[in-house]
Structure 1
Amino acid sequence: MRTVYAFLLTSVDGYHADAGGGTEWFDIDEEFEEYSRSQEGQIDTIVMGRVTFEMMASYWPTPEAYAEDPVVAGFMNDLPKVVASRTMSEHAWGPTTFVPDGIAEHVRSLKEKPGKDIAIFGSSTLVAELLPTGVVDEVRIIVNPVALGQGQSVLGGLAGPVPLRRTGLREFDGGNVLLTYAPVLD
């Protein structure tokens, strides 16, 4: 069975975006880029919510993205994407499947098929929805050394506590810290 992991970015005070929805505050250094590139060979499917999808679709297919990071641009553009959305049903950035309802069941069915890991990039609202269902096997959170004071909570909307067990810790030289957790579900 394939592993489904969520990959989230947060400030030290728990926000994935500032009060205006921006993420420009996040420090992306070379070590972070190397970690991002290392996911290329591990995954063959990307899952996102609509907001994250639209943000990524506006950047990754551009010449600027290919110039700045051809490896990540390559897999972001080429891999199949699954998008949880009730308002979108098609988009030029493909290959993409839109799932209006039943995203947990859809991801669970993908998980049971042969293949590499499935990554949920960003999409903290979607992760908050999926985490209690047991479909997410691992949560990887990069904590950036900045306090925003206000913003959008990294797992805002979580419908109750989900116990997690830390399975990994990596400190990046630039100050980012990667925390890896596995849900502890009954």
Structure 2
Amino acid sequence: MRALVSFVMTSLDGYYEGPNGELDWANVDGEFFEFSNRQDAYIDTLLFGRAGYEHMAAYWPDATDADPEVTAFMNSVEKVVVSSSLDQVEWNNATLARGGPAETVTALKQRPGKEIALFGSVRLTASLLELGLVDELRVMVNPVLLGGGASLYASLHQRVRLELRQTRTFHSGNVLLTYRPA
């Protein structure tokens, strides 16, 4: 069975976007893009909620300031969007899931292939964590304090215990924390 991994970036004070929705604080450099390319090699499907999809689809098709390999991956990989409010998706290789999140993830996990990844989409990640459908949580903590914004897991409705599997410190000061649900 395929694994579902979630990758999110956060500030040290726990925000995934700033007070005005800004994402310009992310600490990305060559080492980060090298990590991204290695991570992407194990992924063949991306899963998004509506907000995550809209953000990514607005940026990646015309991205010029990112690593070319990461850009090519983001624009070519299969993308599945779980949303009850979208009528269509237009980003290359994107499809709109017709079932709910649990049904969609269960069906995706049963298909042959590599990992399924959630990039961003924190509300969808929270709901899938509560359902026990996330196999691994990768949290990239950036060395910045935003002082406000959207809290990383504010949409959780219950406690989710995690087991730390690995840490990695980047030269930039980013720290990758890898967890599995306990």
| Same fold, judged at TM 0.5 (above) | yes
SS in 2 for 1:61: helix
Structure-2 separation of matches of 1:57 and 1:174 = 27
Equivalent of 2:157 in 111, 135, 159: 159
Superposed displacement of residue 118, structure 1: 0.4
Alpha-carbon distance in 1 for matches of 2:32, 2:132: 28
1:76 — aligned with what?
74
Q: Which amino acid aligns with 2:156?
A: L
Equivalent positions of 1:119-158 (< 5 A) are 119-158=117-156
CA distances 1:64-89 after superposition (whole Å, capped 9, x unpaired): 26xx3221111111111111212213
Partner of 2:104: 106
State whether structure 2 residue 59 is matched by structure 1 residue 45. Answer: no
Query: Displacement of 1:100 after TM fit?
Result: 5.7
1:87-107: CA deviation from partner (whole Å, max 9, x where unpaired): 213222121121365112211
Q: Which moved more, 1:17-26 or 1:138-147?
A: 17-26
TM-score of the superposed pair, with normalisation by structure 1? 0.93
User: What CA distance in whole angstroms lies between the structure 2 residues aligned with 1:134 and 1:91?
Assistant: 27
CA–CA distance in 1 between the matches of 2:87 and 2:134?
Answer: 24
Tell me how far 1:51 sits from its aligned partner.
1.3
Work out the percentage of aligned pairs sharing the same amino acid: 46
Structure 2 gaps of 5+ residues are none
Q: Is the 8 A contact 2:89 2:95 kept in 1?
A: no
Task: Tell me what 2:9 maps to.
Answer: 9
Does the residue aligned with 1:58 lie in a helix, a strand or coil?
helix
CA distance in 1, matches of 2:144, 2:14: 10
Which deviates the most, 51-60 or 96-105? 96-105
Output the CA distance in 2 between the equivalents of 1:63 and 1:11: 23
Using the alignment, how far apart are the partners of 2:155 and 2:98 within structure 1? 18
* Greater mean alpha carbon deviation, residues 128-137 or residues 95-104: 95-104
**TM-score computed with the length of structure 2 as normaliser:** 0.95
**5+ unaligned residues in a row in structure 1: which ranges?**
none
